[in-house]
Amino acid sequence: MPNPLCHFELMTTDPKRCQDFYGNVFDWQFDHDTMPGYSLISVGGEVTGAAFTKPVDAPGVCMNTYFQVADIDATLAKVTDRGGNVLVPKTEIPGTGHMAMFTDPEGVPIGIMQPTA
């Protein structure tokens, strides 16, 4: 995939809930010790992102990225099982695959894509 996601940040009001949700939906691993207050997120053994508590003066929680998944239907089922909400259901992108968008339990929008096999 050209231009793969190389880093992202989740600014959240509840880091524990964030870790529980994404750890279960995408099997992410969280490192809270390397940079206290800024939990590094490993995907497949490689650090690709981080999560931290939203500063008081920040306007809101945020992140907006797309993640590639092998089975978009199974991923959306995990999302709803873990308290997320589907915003855009599985939608075909001709010649590319399928996409969908959902919100995590805090309302952060996330996109997923399943490429054509």
Identify the domain containing residue 51 by its residue range.
8-115
| Domain containing residue 100: CATH number | 3.10.180.10
Paired strand residues for 47: 42
What are the tens digits of pLDDT across the range 23-45?
Answer: 999 999 999 999 889 899 998 88
What are the tens digits of pLDDT across the range 66-75?
Answer: 888 989 999 9
- Supply 10's token pair: 């989740």
- Supply 17's token pair: 């809930």
In a domain, 2, yes or no: no
What is the distance between the alpha carbons of residues 90 and 79, in angstroms, rounded to a whole number?
13
Overall size of the chain counted in residues: 117
In a domain, 1, yes or no: no
